[in-house]
Structure 1
Amino acid sequence: MDYSQSLEWLFKQLPMYQRVGKAAYKANLDNTVLLDNHLGNPHLSFATIHVAGTNGKGSTCHMMASVLQEAGYKVGLYTSPHLKDFRERIRINGVMVPKDYVVDFVNKHKLFFESNQLSFFEMTVGMAFQYFKDSNIDIAIIETGLGGRLDSTNIITPLVSVITNIDKDHVVMLGNTLVKIAGEKAGIIKNDLPVVIGERRASLRSLFRESAISKNAIYHQVNHRLKPLETDLKGTYQKDNVRVACEALSVLNQTSDYEISQRHLNSGLLNVVSNTGLRGRYELLQVQPRVIADTAHNKAGIKTLVKQLKLEKFNKLHIVMGMVSDKDVDQVLSLMPKKAFYYIAKPNVIRGMEIDVLSAFFKKHQLNYKKFNSVSDALDKAKSLAHSDDLIVVTGSVFVVAEII
């Protein structure tokens, strides 16, 4: 198989990459352990930082990777989902895994994958761990894909565990209360090892603290009163992520042989995009009229985005939007600006919410909108109608943003 055939085969493996609900989630680590043993336990060959959380974990991972790169380390970075290219998920010092490596890995282990019915997520984690081992990295930043306790990444024993924050998302798999979701995220806390918590709410912090105590883990709470360092990532909401990243790296400094200076912190945070290739986080795509893309896709993310938009100066607000079927659309749309005009479309993925279903929600919330056949058509129309002092925002899903960057 060539590269495109390898990807097509990967994406078809059950539980499917783009399926809704529990079909996309295996509630155990048996296959991950099986694959890791088959590969010779590559995860034991490199140090890690493990990051979970409802929002901000991707940005936090990229920030930490950038700082460690500035400190001179060879840094693996495993994140999900990708925007344009599958290989975005697996990087070393910002460079994506080569296509040839993906092809060779799939071809070499395809029979094992098929005979054990491994999922897309399990195979991708195995590929990342093997690639990091083969490349002799110094450390890897590993982002959970979903939850924490039963996530395919949760076979590692990290130097530091990090939980950014908690909110309702993926409730079918993780539970429909904040306490249940927090319990799943707390599953990455390891015995006798430090954990950094970015959550602001006292009730949830106490849950994480109790979990840490039960495992004799060293608990570190992020101080959100501290003035954050500057970063090249736009949006005031990144301040919390900066604080989490800095606290985690401070703990790493104190508890390991890794050396990170203030200069490394400053430079790393100011060069996240160039060092790691991160995109889609309040990203300015065009200047006149301004076009901003943001991957906010749940209540907490949209709330943060809307708060940021209130700080912007513009004449009219145009919002290009689509969503996927497993999100709480009512909660999201209840937060959206009433005075904006919306250009809605179905993202081009299986999970994408059908346009007629989405439009019914827009009618219910009395938002002004027009339907389009594609996200790109919606954006083109917004650009044609917007004046130079207007603002266009593209949001609602990672998959919406992926279609226009």
Structure 2
Amino acid sequence: MNYQQTLDFLYSKLPMFTRVGASAFKKDLTNTIILCNALDNPQDKFKSIHVAGTNGKGSTSHMLASVLQAQGYKTGLYTSPHLKDFRERIRINGKMISKTEVIAFVKNQKQLIEKVEPSFFEVTVALAFDCFARHQVDIAVIEVGLGGRLDSTNIISPLTSVITNISLDHTNMLGNTLAEIAGEKAGIIKKDTPVVIGETHEASAPVFNKKATEMNAPIVFADQVLTALDFKLANNKLSLSVYQGEEIKYKNLQSDLTGVYQHKNILTVLETLAVLNAQTEIKTDVQNVYKGISQVKKQTGLQGRWQTLSKNPLVICDTGHNEAGIAEVIKNISQTPYQNLHIVFGMVKDKDISKVLALLPKNASYYFCKPDLERGLAANELADQAAGFGLKGNTYSSVAEAKAMAIQSAGAKDLVYIGGSTFVVAEAI
């Protein structure tokens, strides 16, 4: 099989969450354990950091990897989903896994895959762990796919666990309350292993504290230790200063991820690095923290986070797709100068979209579209529901058509925002 045939085999043979939703989510770790046993348990052969959370886990994972890379560590990075190329999920020092490695892995494991019938995600996790072990990475940053407790990645024994935040998402699988969802995310907290929580929330904090006590895991809430102030946005960089109490820890820290919401992720990253410095052999110095935070996109290839696609008109996309994520996007829109607002918007059909639609600005022209996957919500259904919230616009047969029409309709000083789903962003960039 060549590379495309290999991907076609994986896509056609294995249930894939991004395409079909909940039916692809395997509610135990059995398949992952079988696959990794057959590979001589590669997950035990490298040091790791495990990152969960509802929003921000991707940005946080990429930032951590960028700093560790800047420090000179050979750094693995596993994230999902991909936007353009399957290989984005598995990187070492920012470089995607080779097509040859993907082909060889699937060829060697084809019989086992056909026997076990794992999910697409389970195979991808096994491939990532095998890749990191064979390349002998110094450290790997492993992003949880969904939840935590039953996620395929949860067979690692990390140096530290990180949970960015909790908000309502994937409620059909993880629970209908913040406490229930926190319980699933808290499943990555391991015995005697420090855990960093990004944001304190009254509903989730007791859940995390209880689990940490049970596991004898030292716990710290980043937003209780560090504060971000003095925000500025200039030359495509977000700049801020970070304080610990009255003491300034990082003055004028620059980030190439310009979404204002990134300050929360930056605090989570800085506290995680402090924990690693204090409690493990993985050390980073201030100079490389500055370097790593300022060059995330360049060093790790991160895309789709408040990303500028073009100017005149200004076209920006963002992968925020749930209530909390869209709330942050709206804050960014409100801080961006523009004359008229155009919003290209599409969603998937297994989400509660009413809470998202309620947040969206009414004084915008909407271009409703359906991302090109089975889970995509039909554009006319989205438009009908949006009309109930006073959102007016037209429907388009594809993301590309909606984007083209928005840009064509916009004046030079207008803003075109593209989002609603990771898959809409994937088609737009």
TM range (shorter): over 0.9
* 1:21 CA displacement: 4.1
Identity of aligned residues (%): 50
Return the alpha-carbon distance in structure 1 between the equivalents of residues 127 and 29 of structure 2: 16
* 1:358 CA displacement: 1.0
The one of 243, 266, 282 aligned to 2:306: 282
Contact 1:20 / 1:326 at 8 angstroms: preserved in 2? no
Return the alpha-carbon distance in structure 1 between the equivalents of residues 152 and 134 of structure 2: 20
Q: Which residue of 2 aligns with 1:120?
A: 120
Q: Which residue of 2 aligns with 1:226?
A: 227
Q: Which residue of 2 aligns with 1:208?
A: 208
Question: Could you tell me which amino acid in structure 1 is paired with residue 354 of structure 2?
Answer: D
Return the alpha-carbon distance in structure 2 between the equivalents of residues 356 and 377 of structure 1: 15
Return the alpha-carbon distance in structure 1 between the equivalents of residues 402 and 180 of structure 2: 38
Contact 2:346 / 2:369 at 8 angstroms: preserved in 1? yes
Return the alpha-carbon distance in structure 1 between the equivalents of residues 176 and 287 of structure 2: 43
* 1:177 CA displacement: 1.1
**TM-score for the superposition, normalised by structure 2:** 0.93
Q: Which residue of 1 aligns with 2:232?
A: none
SS in 2 for 1:233: coil
Return the alpha-carbon distance in structure 2 between the equivalents of residues 373 and 199 of structure 1: 39
* 1:16 CA displacement: 2.8
Return the alpha-carbon distance in structure 1 between the equivalents of residues 24 and 384 of structure 2: 26
Q: Which residue of 1 aligns with 2:97?
A: 97
1:140-175 deviation per Cα after TM superposition (whole angstroms, max 9, x unaligned) = 000000000000000000000000000111111111
Return the alpha-carbon distance in structure 1 between the equivalents of residues 102 and 365 of structure 2: 42
1:333-373 deviation per Cα after TM superposition (whole angstroms, max 9, x unaligned) = 00000101110111011111112211211121121111011
* 1:18 CA displacement: 3.1
Question: Could you tell me which amino acid in structure 1 is paired with residue 289 of structure 2?
Answer: L
Q: How big is the alpha-carbon RMSD for the aligned residues of Structure 1 and Structure 2?
A: 1.0
Contact 2:312 / 2:412 at 8 angstroms: preserved in 1? yes
**Aligned positions of 1:314-329 closer than 5 A:** 314-329=338-353
Return the alpha-carbon distance in structure 2 between the equivalents of residues 307 and 82 of structure 1: 26
**Aligned positions of 1:232-251 closer than 5 A:** 232-251=256-275
Q: Which residue of 2 aligns with 1:111?
A: 111
* 1:93 CA displacement: 0.5
Contact 2:199 / 2:223 at 8 angstroms: preserved in 1? no
Question: Could you tell me which amino acid in structure 2 is paired with residue 374 of structure 1?
Answer: S
The one of 311, 318, 322 aligned to 2:335: 311
Contact 1:20 / 1:325 at 8 angstroms: preserved in 2? no
Contact 1:318 / 1:343 at 8 angstroms: preserved in 2? yes
Return the alpha-carbon distance in structure 1 between the equivalents of residues 92 and 21 of structure 2: 31
1:245-299 deviation per Cα after TM superposition (whole angstroms, max 9, x unaligned) = 1111111111111220000100100000000000000001111110001011110
Alignment gaps of 5+ in structure 1: none
Return the alpha-carbon distance in structure 2 between the equivalents of residues 237 and 38 of structure 1: 42
Contact 2:190 / 2:215 at 8 angstroms: preserved in 1? yes
Question: Could you tell me which amino acid in structure 1 is paired with residue 174 of structure 2?
Answer: L
Contact 2:200 / 2:223 at 8 angstroms: preserved in 1? no
Q: Which residue of 2 aligns with 1:9?
A: 9
Question: Could you tell me which amino acid in structure 1 is paired with residue 23 of structure 2?
Answer: A
SS in 2 for 1:291: strand
SS in 1 for 2:325: helix
Return the alpha-carbon distance in structure 2 between the equivalents of residues 50 and 376 of structure 1: 35
Q: Which residue of 2 aligns with 1:404?
A: 428
Return the alpha-carbon distance in structure 1 between the equivalents of residues 74 and 109 of structure 2: 27
**TM-score for the superposition, normalised by structure 1:** 0.98
More strand by share: 2
Q: Does 1:300 align with 2:324?
A: yes
**Aligned positions of 1:129-278 closer than 5 A:** 129-223=129-223, 226-227=227-228, 228=242, 229-278=253-302
Question: Could you tell me which amino acid in structure 2 is paired with residue 163 of structure 1?
Answer: I
1:21-47 deviation per Cα after TM superposition (whole angstroms, max 9, x unaligned) = 430211100111111101000011100
Contact 1:362 / 1:369 at 8 angstroms: preserved in 2? no
Return the alpha-carbon distance in structure 2 between the equivalents of residues 203 and 387 of structure 1: 44
The one of 398, 403, 407 aligned to 1:374: 398
Return the alpha-carbon distance in structure 1 between the equivalents of residues 296 and 406 of structure 2: 30
* 1:19 CA displacement: 4.1
* 1:20 CA displacement: 4.0
